[in-house]
Structure 1
Amino acid sequence: MKQFFKFVLATIVGIVFTSFILLIILVGIIVGASSEKPVDVLSNSVLHVSFTRAIPERTPNNPLAGLSFLGLDGEKSIGLNDILANIKKAKTDDNIRGIFLDESYMLSGQATTEEVRNALLDFKKSGKFIIAYSEIYTQGFYYLASVADKVYINPKGIFEFSGFSQQITFLKGAMDKLGIEAQVIKVGTYKSAVEPYILNKMSDANREQVNSYLGSLYEHFLTGIGKARNVNRDTLFDIANNMKVQFPEDALKYKLVDGLKYKDEVLDELKSRTSTDKKKNLHSVEIGEYTKSGVKDDNTDTEKATAGDKIAVIYASGEINGGDGDENTIGSETVSKALRQVRLDNKVKAVVLRVNSPGGSSLASDVIWREVKLTHDVKPIIVSMGDYAASGGYYISCAADSIIAEPNTITGSIGIFAILPNMQKLFNDKLGVTFDGVKTGKYADLGDISRPLTPEEHAILQNQVNRGYDDFTKHVADGRKKTQQYINSIGQGRVWTGTQAIKLGLVDRLGNINDAVNMAAKKAKVTDYKLVTYPEQKSIFNKFGQGLTAEVKTRMLQNELGESYNTYQQIKSVTHLMRTPQARLPFDVVIK
């Protein structure tokens, strides 16, 4: 009894202590949020741009941003929306003389990089300078930095330029050792999301599609760099193919950079360009802080608070699931609610649906598709595709008036699959566990993972998947004004880039989210309007506990697993794949 009371007392003390710490943090957040002041931009300043983490679609409303504790690094994230807006503002801000593009890793997809790159190209039209510097140039960051007036690398730095590769992790061998069989039901020759669980290497069909879309991405990459650096595309291919750049001086020799400099030398050049005394500090403002500068973009009508008409931008980012979503996932209920809200709002004259998703639940995708279709029937709705709008991501897009994608958007993957594990060998042979029971109907235990599917059960599930695919291709055919037979011929789960999708009729034009907003305004015949965004981001009070738990857990896992974190995520996703039929991209596309 004495021991019991000791444990109870220890538990109470722990709860009180934890609550006290959380209260202090919460008070700090409230004080910090209330004390935020506008940022003053001094004359002759540079906009400091550096990306060291993945770029979300919107700047998170994160109460933990800037805090350093429990595995958090204290660094604030900035969304693509604010990045593009801030670069555009800097273009006409007399206090900003240029942009310093500093060491970055570009952990986001290529379409996100493309949007930032195009914003930088537009910035250069002002006549202001862009200087890029890094100790390590990944291919993603170099593609971004190649638009700069001057590209510098540390004399002892690393310059990666060797071409694109795509690697898939196959889990079948591990599952065999564990005694787990993945029972696959799918439609689509190229629907290769199931392959890691049933094969040890890529199928011929999968290899064909990866070669195709990877080649398209690489062609766009080389063409963009060639135009920016005035280097022939074939020359760039030869440089990469033969690994001719192994040291910084090689990059200089082949005109991929403009000089080998240490950072102090680059800072001296920036001081010279901004007429700053070399003995004084350079005036600069971080791109994330520039949001609070109070500077407005005078060249757009979308900032007019007096405008009665609105254009709504609905963000759908992440994996598609049923129920409520968050900043990193698409919940069918959350997005559907947003679509209903803007559809019934008479002041909202048009809608832009921003899709950045590899897909997910086919049922949840269909729920969202229905709301897009209903919205299309009453007002213009334009889809803007981000890094991904594939499988379920394309499903929710196909009913829109028009679809806009970047050249390197990953889209298509029109197909359906389901996976049901058979864990009989694991239970019986590995663990010595057996099961027995009774049932009132032949199929009462359909889906039981302790035994294999019977041929009749497999046929039932195949019929369900076939119907899902038929619905998918019919919706695409109706939305894109094509025959279902044609959609089936380019479907089959095959992945396409934005450039390829244009030719196939899956996408209407190439462009970014601003192009989508402009198209929506034109279709709605409005010129004076205000942009509103959905779903509404949760307040710091609503998401405090959830944000703390999720953020700390994610950061600790990332720190512990390092590069193996992506493999952990893939293994974790197996449990999601085995719940309901999926309309999902076959793999994560990571270009180093």
Structure 2
Amino acid sequence: MADTRRGPLLRFIIGIWNTLNFARRLVLNLVFLAILVFVLAAIFQSRPALQQQTALVLDLEGAIVEQYSTAATERALDKLTGSERKEIQLRDILRTIDAAARDARIGRIVLIPDNLTAAGPSTLREVGQALDRFRQAGKPVTTIANDLGQGQFFLAAHSDQILLDPEGGVVLTGFASYQSYFKDALDKLGVTVHLIKVGEYKSAAEPFVLNQASEAAKRADREWMGDLWREYVTEVATLRKIDPARLEDDIARYDERLAAHQGDLAALALDQKLVDRIATRAEARQWLREQGVPAEGDSFRQVDWQQYYGQLPPELPASEKLAVIVAEGTILPGNQPQGSIGGSSTAQLIRGAREDETVKALVLRVSSPGGDSVASEMIRREIEQTRAAGKPVVVSMGDYAASGGYWISMNADEIFAQPTTITGSIGIFGLFPRIPDTLAKIGIHTDGIGTTPLAGAFDIRQPLSPQVESILTSVIGRGYQQFIGRVAEARNRTPEQIDAVAQGHVWTGNQALERGLVDKLGGLDEAIAAAAARAGLPPNVQVSYVERPLSAWDRLALSLSSSQALAGIASQTGLHWPAALLPAQEMRQAATVLDSLRGRRFGMFAHCFCELR
């Protein structure tokens, strides 16, 4: 019989292998156990029991958006690594404030807007209206701030009291809309850009062919921006009980007013009645305790708004409900992630709501400056078919519903806009860059043959021929006629009447109402009430947001992304993923337009670069 005993060398190697294998399994199991503990801690974190006279702390951190721009899984991972994109959903803020107004345990709201980084005029207006509803319930709102910029002050003006830090200030500058213009740079690079547009005021593509804004664009911008500013001044002056003319004069003479106060921004704000008192954070906490908010340690009895929101009851299945679909961002072809509007993906959401027997009415919440015209038409058709199926459709315009954003809105039964909504911009353009001179600068030349005059004519390495330019002009001209024709049909007007208020002209919600482009002024709540009434639904009907279906992992990630425990894990472990440096907003917009035109021979855009800064 052969000796089956292993030699010492083989036994040593096997022993080392078994040791390594054991260590590997031990490490993996420990990692798995740690993750499991973290997940369970996040899910079953202790929720504070609310007591009477608790203050709801509304510390708004980041940008207020209609819909998160990243998926739930990505948000959870970003929060764990400390690199989350700071975004707050408007619907979450509104639901929190309205629930707190009905909650007997909540005595007041303490608004802290210091870290609010971005929100459009209409978004701010919706939050302000929610704060007004809270105050109408007999509960005060107090703002505590280190500094107040223009948007932050608009929210603070909806408070009963504004407390400003002694080193802070209130700076109101007015609205601005500036673009970078690239013509000289493109000329130096040898890039020839052909712009074909319909609409005297359609200025979205001007940066590629001019070095400055056209006079028509400036004239139109003064009109709608002036109306927005008047709306802003009137509202904050009314809320603060000061004369609008005096407020305008104080802004115009800000340098003189500040010099008279020896550069003390806080003292100037107090003198101008923009704030009610000057107080450090410690003094503000003491003042709140004096106002009846019970003390807790060296602070006051409070609950963070996100913790409070996490305790609100979830939606339960209902036999009848009203669906809300969010269309936010640039309109692009195909399926797009959150933060953009996909011609296919958004159309699919609308189709799903139409085919859902429990959905009795639809509200389309639009906040978009427009984009691809074909994708816009795909969405518009779904709205039209939903109405034909007997389900009412009401559009609620947010900050923007311009150009393609108006295109997808026009066939609703009813259109609501805020006075500060930016809409209109009914027009179309096509942008066709050519780079033969660019290539020649580095010694590259293009040559060859085609079997017809059109063969290869759309190649960007070739100059744009007069024949192709004529074809493109015909296509874009027809696109504009279709646009105003469909608006005319939807709004019960003639194409000539619509053309008179179209031509790419941007309007505010106030101006759009005067010109028959929208039906009523109001926010999301008013649109939901109107849709419910059209469908014969009760005022308290369940409202359900229709979004991309979540997987089991997505639902887990969603619960983690709003978890305070997960944030604690990130801070305790020191994990951090440095944020990427992003180019300016206007550069991203320009890149989006150019990227969307890639590979499209007859690319037409219904887009408006009308964001405010």
Instruction: Bin the TM-score by the shorter chain.
Output: 0.7 to 0.9
* 2:73 is equivalent to residue 63 of structure 1: yes
* Structure 2 unmatched runs, 5+: 1-23, 562-575
2:266 to 220, 226, 248: 248
**8 Å contact kept, 2:365–2:395:** yes
Shift of 1:169: 1.3
**8 Å contact kept, 1:39–1:290:** no
* 2:496 is equivalent to residue 485 of structure 1: yes
Query: Deviations along 1:335-358, whole A, 9 cap, x unmatched?
Result: 211222222233321110111111
After superposition, residues 443-592 of structure 1 pair within 5 angstroms as 443-527=454-538, 529-539=541-551, 541=553, 560-561=581-582, 564-576=583-595, 578-579=597-598, 580=600, 581-591=603-613
**Cα distance in structure 2, aligned partners of 1:120 and 1:109:** 17
**Cα distance in structure 2, aligned partners of 1:572 and 1:75:** 21
* 2:425 is equivalent to residue 413 of structure 1: yes
**Cα distance in structure 1, aligned partners of 2:181 and 2:41:** 46
SS across alignment from 1:73: coil
What's 1:210 paired with? 221
Shift of 1:231: 0.6
What's 2:395 paired with? 383
**8 Å contact kept, 2:62–2:88:** no
**Cα distance in structure 1, aligned partners of 2:428 and 2:37:** 48
Shift of 1:539: 3.7
Q: Which moved more, 1:286-295 or 1:116-125?
A: 286-295
Report the CA distance shift for 1:112/1:22 in structure 2 as closer, same or farther (over 3 A): farther
**8 Å contact kept, 1:29–1:64:** no
1:395 to 397, 401, 407: 407
**Cα distance in structure 1, aligned partners of 2:544 and 2:596:** 34
* 2:174 is equivalent to residue 155 of structure 1: no
What's 1:288 paired with? 306
What's 1:43 paired with? 52
**8 Å contact kept, 1:358–1:392:** yes
AA aligned to 2:110 is: F
After superposition, residues 166-185 of structure 1 pair within 5 angstroms as 166-185=177-196
**8 Å contact kept, 1:62–1:540:** no
Report the CA distance shift for 1:212/1:540 in structure 2 as closer, same or farther (over 3 A): farther
**Cα distance in structure 1, aligned partners of 2:549 and 2:170:** 39
Shift of 1:437: 2.4
What's 1:300 paired with? none
1:333 to 319, 344, 360: 344
2:107 to 92, 97, 100: 97
What's 2:378 paired with? 367
Report the CA distance shift for 1:126/1:489 in structure 2 as closer, same or farther (over 3 A): same
Query: Deviations along 1:69-93, whole A, 9 cap, x unmatched?
Result: 7974357643111110100001011
SS across alignment from 1:78: strand
**8 Å contact kept, 1:387–1:409:** yes
What's 2:437 paired with? 425
**Cα distance in structure 2, aligned partners of 1:218 and 1:457:** 44
**Cα distance in structure 2, aligned partners of 1:36 and 1:78:** 21
Query: Deviations along 1:388-424, whole A, 9 cap, x unmatched?
Result: 1111110000000000011111111111111111111
Q: Percent identity?
A: 33
**8 Å contact kept, 1:558–1:565:** no
* Structure 1 unmatched runs, 5+: 1-15, 297-302, 549-554
What's 1:186 paired with? 197
Shift of 1:56: 1.9
**Cα distance in structure 1, aligned partners of 2:48 and 2:248:** 44
**Cα distance in structure 2, aligned partners of 1:388 and 1:274:** 42
**Cα distance in structure 2, aligned partners of 1:359 and 1:278:** 50
Report the CA distance shift for 1:237/1:25 in structure 2 as closer, same or farther (over 3 A): farther
SS across alignment from 1:127: coil
AA aligned to 1:565 is: A
SS across alignment from 1:48: strand
**Cα distance in structure 1, aligned partners of 2:325 and 2:40:** 31
Shift of 1:61: 5.5
SS across alignment from 1:54: strand
SS across alignment from 2:326: strand
TM-score by length of 1: 0.87
Shift of 1:558: 6.2
AA aligned to 1:267 is: R
What's 1:78 paired with? 88
**Cα distance in structure 2, aligned partners of 1:30 and 1:315:** 30
What's 1:355 paired with? 366
**Cα distance in structure 2, aligned partners of 1:26 and 1:49:** 31
Q: Which moved more, 1:74-83 or 1:334-343?
A: 74-83
AA aligned to 1:155 is: P
TM-score by length of 2: 0.84
Which entry has the higher C-alpha Rg, 1 or 2? 2
**Cα distance in structure 2, aligned partners of 1:559 and 1:216:** 37
